[in-house]
């Protein structure tokens, strides 16, 4: 069978013998009752574990709507107009409402980017600002030692609304919920304290039970309460196909269950060869973003297997700190040792790649220079077919193969060992 994978603005096609192909992991084909803004409006009319937003937010209150920055796939322009309509219905005044872009550890936006993110109507009706890690209020410290330092525009609000899409997150379990607050509108030191727990085996994609990072995030929220959340679920093309609204925990969990129905993919076994892609541009512009698909693929490969990562990475590595860690380490094991004693944002993704290398070989199909790819502990090849043919020859004609064309979205669930 010929399987197609997105690669930048083009594709890579791999011809795999039918007898070797265990599975192609795609979103489960379920009927979505509502899409886009209609799904958001329905969620707002039917909140989970909460009264309607119009009955919670009061006229005269300062209201902060925390939403995702430009590095995230959330179509805020399809979400926030309906939130504003609900607030206006409750008597709130536009001058009391502020949209705050949750930058986390990312760069500030231009005004044009802000307008593009929320749309012309929202941008013209209410104030839209970036979170500011240099202007935060300390609101407490979690039991795990994470400082709850929240950007002033959110900390001083009377009522806070968290907006963010729900997808699998490689160490917080899922995005969404209280994650709008931490790391969304916090400081680098707080984010580092939280993310340093990524080496815990329970800090993994799709896991909420005993996950120390998710627990720490949700404890942070008790110091700076989100009165309401609006969390869409997106398809592989980043369009809204479902949405939850309401209580920060109950609504979030309902959204996670829907995501599971779409993207949680049980396996009959781990494969010798896993072929994975982010789905092409813009999601594979650099290795920093492509790493997300690689990390999900680790659940599908057997110990000693091979992961073939298809990602153009035409912009290179995508993060200065990520590059510094990868290019200065003498061995991949050094990266794991370093993240345990010196956690740094950006470096943490280098350590995540090193953790995968403990169990599998990684072949990278990209536009980056071969020698450079080797220097960061990966094996370069020039086409996915070439990489598959080489792996097939190594593992033999009875080898098993799993394909993940949208690896950043689908989460393989291997059988219990």
Would you call 383 exposed, middle or buried from its count of C-beta atoms within 10 A (0-12, 13-18, 19+)? Answer: middle
373-384 pLDDT, tens digit each: 999 999 999 999
Which has the minimum average pLDDT: 129-133, 282-286, 303-307, 342-346? 342-346
For strands 136-141 and 147-151, give the pairing: antiparallel
Which domains are assigned to the chain? Answer: 2-27+267-413 (3.90.226.30), 36-263 (3.40.50.11440)
Q: How confident is the model at residue 70 (pLDDT cuts 50, 70, 90)?
A: confident
**CA–CA dist 129, 100 (Å, integer):** 5
pLDDT more than 70, % of the chain: 100
Which has the minimum average pLDDT: 86-95, 220-229, 340-349? 340-349
Mean pLDDT on 185-193: 90
Under DSSP, is residue 121 helix (H, G, I), strand (E, B) or coil?
helix
Rg of the chain over all Cα atoms, to the nearest angstrom: 21
**So what's the pLDDT on residue 417?**
52
**CA–CA dist 371, 116 (Å, integer):** 39
Under a CB-based contact definition with an 8 Å cutoff, are residues 343 and 195 in contact?
yes
Which has the minimum average pLDDT: 191-200, 202-211, 377-386? 191-200
Q: pLDDT higher for 408 or 47? A: 47
Would you call 341 exposed, middle or buried from its count of C-beta atoms within 10 A (0-12, 13-18, 19+)? Answer: exposed
Q: How many CA atoms lie within 13 A of 379 on its CB side?
A: 15
Q: pLDDT higher for 393 or 192? A: 393
pLDDT at 354 over 60: yes
- Looking up tokens 């995501």 gives 259
125-139 pLDDT, tens digit each: 999 999 999 999 999
pLDDT more than 90, % of the chain: 88
Rounded mean pLDDT of the chain?
95
Beta bridge partners of 245: 230
266-296 pLDDT, tens digit each: 999 999 999 999 999 988 999 999 999 999 9
List the Cα angle 219/224/76 in 5-degree steps. 100
**So what's the pLDDT on residue 75?**
95
pTM listed for this prediction: 0.89
- Cβ neighbour number for residue 379 with a 10 Å cutoff: 15
**So what's the pLDDT on residue 213?**
96
pLDDT at 236 over 90: no
CA-closest candidate to residue 87, choices 181, 161, 166: 161
Q: pLDDT higher for 226 or 71? A: 226
Q: How confident is the model at residue 416 (pLDDT cuts 50, 70, 90)?
A: confident
Q: How confident is the model at residue 51 (pLDDT cuts 50, 70, 90)?
A: very high
Residue 282: is the preceding peptide bond cis (ω within 30°)? yes
Beta bridge partners of 38: none
**CA–CA dist 405, 5 (Å, integer):** 5
Mean pLDDT on 308-313: 97
**So what's the pLDDT on residue 199?**
82
Q: How confident is the model at residue 364 (pLDDT cuts 50, 70, 90)?
A: very high
pLDDT at 173 over 60: yes
């Amino acid at each position: 069978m010929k399987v197609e994978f997105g690669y930048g603005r083009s594709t890579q096609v791999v011809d795999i013998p039918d007898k070797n192909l265990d599975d192609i992991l795609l979103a489960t084909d379920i009927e979505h009752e509502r899409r886009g803004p209609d799904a958001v409006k329905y969620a707002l009319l039917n909140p989970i574990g909460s009264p309607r937003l119009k009955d919670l937010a009061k006229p005269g209150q300062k209201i902060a709507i925390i939403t995702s920055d430009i590095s995230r796939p959330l179509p805020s322009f399809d979400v926030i107009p309906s939130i504003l309509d609900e607030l206006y219905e409750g008597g709130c005044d536009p001058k009391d409402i502020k949209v705050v872009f949750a930058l986390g550890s990312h760069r500030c936006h231009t005004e044009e980017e802000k307008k593009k993110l929320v749309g012309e109507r929202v941008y013209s009706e209410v104030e839209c600002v970036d979170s500011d890690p240099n202007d935060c209020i300390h609101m407490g410290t979690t039991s795990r030692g994470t400082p709850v330092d929240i950007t002033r525009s959110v900390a001083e609000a009377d009522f806070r609304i968290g907006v963010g899409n729900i997808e699998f997150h490689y160490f917080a379990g899922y995005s969404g919920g209280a994650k709008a607050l931490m790391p969304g509108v916090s400081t680098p030191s707080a984010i580092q304290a939280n993310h340093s727990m990524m080496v815990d085996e329970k800090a993994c994609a799709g896991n909420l039970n005993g996950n120390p990072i998710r627990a720490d995030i949700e404890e942070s929220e008790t110091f700076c309460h989100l009165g309401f959340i609006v969390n869409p679920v997106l398809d592989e093309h980043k369009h809204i196909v479902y949405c939850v609204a309401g209580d920060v925990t109950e609504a979030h969990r309902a959204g996670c269950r829907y995501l599971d129905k779409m993207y949680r993919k049980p396996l009959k076994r781990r494969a010798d060869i896993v072929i994975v892609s982010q789905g092409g541009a813009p999601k594979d512009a650099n290795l920093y973003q492509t790493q997300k698909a690689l990390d999900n693929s680790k659940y599908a490969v057997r110990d000693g297997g091979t992961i073939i990562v298809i990602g153009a990475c035409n912009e290179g590595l995508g993060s200065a700190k990520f590059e510094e860690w990868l290019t200065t380490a003498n061995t991949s094991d050094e990266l794991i040792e370093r993240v345990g004693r010196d956690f740094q944002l950006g470096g943490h993704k280098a350590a995540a790649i090193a953790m995968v290398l403990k169990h599998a070989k990684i072949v990278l199909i990209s536009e980056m220079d071969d020698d450079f790819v080797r220097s960061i502990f990966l094996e370069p090849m020039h086409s996915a077919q070439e990489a598959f043919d080489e792996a097939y020859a190594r593992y033999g004609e009875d080898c098993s193969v799993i394909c993940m064309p949208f690896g950043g979205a689908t989460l393989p669930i291997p059988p219990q060992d």
